[in-house]
Amino acid sequence: MAKYALVGDVGGTNARLALCKMETGTISHIKTFSTSEYNNLELVIKRYMDEQQKNIIDGCIAIACPITNDYVEMTNHDWFFSKNKMREKIGFAHLEIINDFTAVSMSIPMLSAIDVIQFGGKKPIKDKPIAIYGAGTGLGVSYLVHVGKQWISLPGEGGHVDFAPNSEEEVDILAVLRKDLGHVSAERILSGSGLVNLYSAIVKADGREAKLLKPQDVTERALHGICIDCRRALTLFCIIMGRFGGNLALNLGTFGGVYIAGGIVPRFLDFFKASGFRSAFEDKGRFRNYLVDIPVYMITHDQPGLLGAGAYLRQSLGCIL
């Protein structure tokens, strides 16, 4: 009989749970729960387990918040819990709680050619370091390195590094954002709210008053040719995504590839393909040739968090990915 484990991907709005087949890492029986309808994560897990009616004693849950010790408190929701106490209450022998971007990074070895779209470069070099970043509500950053027979995810807060302008236009934008925000990190630009910040700064730098727009408004106005300022913002977003990805590649020599996750870029995929993203990725002066062969991929798999949670758990229990 096949052995299954519980995997989860929990955000501020939804908690997605699924079963992971331990022999292969295959994900199935995915179900989404609204976090607003439950007082805590334990209730969600018990509800799901009762529905599945399987003998499960191992699990891994990815959560959108820092994981530093036994106590876990969500950033964008009011759930909090002790990892050890939860494991005891749900009757598991083994329960891992990991950061959501750690899960995304751990999905990389499990992805196939149909789960990604490549943007330039050549083939990745086997077992070399990998960079993962993604623009969504914030800007997530992680690295993946191969050590011995294991993949090790290196989490961090790379989205909060300083934004470094590389053109006169970007210098003007930084000046505006610095007045409005103080410290300007990469996340202040490469995120949903960052796209709005870009639009607003472009307009203010021209001495005009910006409209109150949402990220979706900026994208739609840009794609439909309704607003030249929105189109400039979306174009710059793609270019800065490229520069930031190139920086990540330089930092750790990621000849295993650079992967883009997150929910923003897929919303304007055709625009992104035709943008200056790849040129900006390679635009590192004397070190352009260092980057030119490094492939960049966008993850198109619909549940990388669940897939990565399963991979993390399987590896922690001795499986080779």
CATH number assigned to the domain comprising residue 223: 3.40.367.20
The span from the CA of 262 to the CA of 255, in Å, is: 21
How confident is the model over 128-144, as pLDDT tens digits? 999 999 998 889 899 99
Written as one letter, the residue type at 265 is V
Task: Specify whether 251 is located in the same domain as 119.
Answer: yes
Here the tokens at position 107 are 């999905």
174-201 burial, b at 16+ Cβ within 10 Å, e below that, comes to: bebbeeeeeebbbbbbbbbebbbbbbbb
Question: Model-level pTM?
Answer: 0.91
Nearest to 106 by CA among 12, 9, 16, 23: 9
Task: Specify whether 289 is located in the same domain as 181.
Answer: yes
The span from the CA of 62 to the CA of 11, in Å, is: 9
The answer to whether position 231 is within a domain reads yes
Domain count, the chain: 2
The residue range of the domain holding 192 is 112-300
CATH number assigned to the domain comprising residue 89: 3.30.420.40
Give residue 209's pLDDT band: very low, low, confident or very high (50, 70, 90). Answer: very high
Written as one letter, the residue type at 45 is I
Q: Judge contact between 95 and 59, C-beta under 8 A.
A: yes
The answer to whether position 321 is within a domain reads no
Task: Specify whether 263 is located in the same domain as 307.
Answer: no
**pLDDT at 262 (0 to 100):** 84
What's the average model confidence in pLDDT over 240-260? 97
Average pLDDT of the residues of the chain: 94
Task: Specify whether 79 is located in the same domain as 197.
Answer: no
Q: What share of the chain is helix, strand, coil (3-state, %, to 5)?
A: 45, 25, 35
DSSP label of 109: G
Task: Specify whether 100 is located in the same domain as 154.
Answer: no
Task: Specify whether 274 is located in the same domain as 185.
Answer: yes
How confident is the model over 47-82, as pLDDT tens digits? 999 999 888 999 999 998 888 899 999 877 889 999
For the packed helices 192-205 and 215-223, what is the interaxial angle rounded to 10 degrees?
Answer: 70
Share of the chain above pLDDT 90, in %: 88
